[in-house]
Amino acid sequence: MQLQHEFTLPIPPDQAWSTLLDVERIAPCMPGAALDRIDGDDFSGRVTLKVGPLRLNYRGDARLEEKDPQARRLVIAAEGQEARGSGTAKAAVTASLSAVPDGTRVALQTDLALTGRPAQFGRGLVNEVAGTIIGQFAERLSAEMSNGGLPQQALPDAGADAPGAGNGRPSSSPGSSSAVTDTDENSLDVLTLLRTTVGTRGLIALGGIAAVVAAFLLGRRRSRSWPAADGRPPGWPAVYVIDAGEK
pLDDT value for 60: 84
For residue 46, give the DSSP letter: E
Helices and strands, number each (H, E), in the chain: 5, 11
Cross-strand pairs, 62: 43, 78
CA distances from residue 241 to 96, 150, 214 in whole angstroms, order as listed: 31, 30, 19
Give the DSSP H or E segment for 128: helix 123-147
In three-state secondary structure terms, 159 is coil
* Cα–Cα distance measured from residue 60 to residue 201, given in angstroms and rounded to the nearest whole number: 29
Length of the chain: 247
- The whole-angstrom distance between residue 15's C-alpha and the CA centroid of its chain comes to 21
pLDDT value for 117: 59
Mind listing the pLDDT tens digit for each residue in 45-62? 887 766 566 565 668 888
157: left (phi over 0), alpha (psi -120 to 50) or beta: beta
Decide if 202 contacts 125 (C-beta within 8 A): yes
Q: What angle do CA 112, 113, 118 make, to 5 degrees?
A: 110
C-alpha dihedral sign at 76, 137, 2, 11? negative
* Cα–Cα distance measured from residue 45 to residue 59, given in angstroms and rounded to the nearest whole number: 6
Any residues with CB less than 8 A from the CB of 62 and at least 6 apart, and which?
42, 43, 44, 45, 76, 77, 78, 79, 215, 218, 236
pTM of the entire structure?
0.64
Which CATH superfamily, name and number, covers 2-242?
START domain (3.30.530.20)
Residue ranges covered by each domain of the chain: 2-242
Q: Are strands 188-189 and 42-51 parallel, antiparallel or unpaired?
A: parallel
Identity of residue 2: Q
Mind listing the pLDDT tens digit for each residue in 69-114? 999 998 888 887 777 767 777 889 899 999 999 999 999 998 888 7
Identity of residue 3: L
Decide if 107 contacts 98 (C-beta within 8 A): yes
In three-state secondary structure terms, 119 is helix
For the chain, residues with pLDDT lower than 70 are 49-58, 85, 116-122, 125, 148-187, 190-191, 193-247
Cross-strand pairs, 98: 105
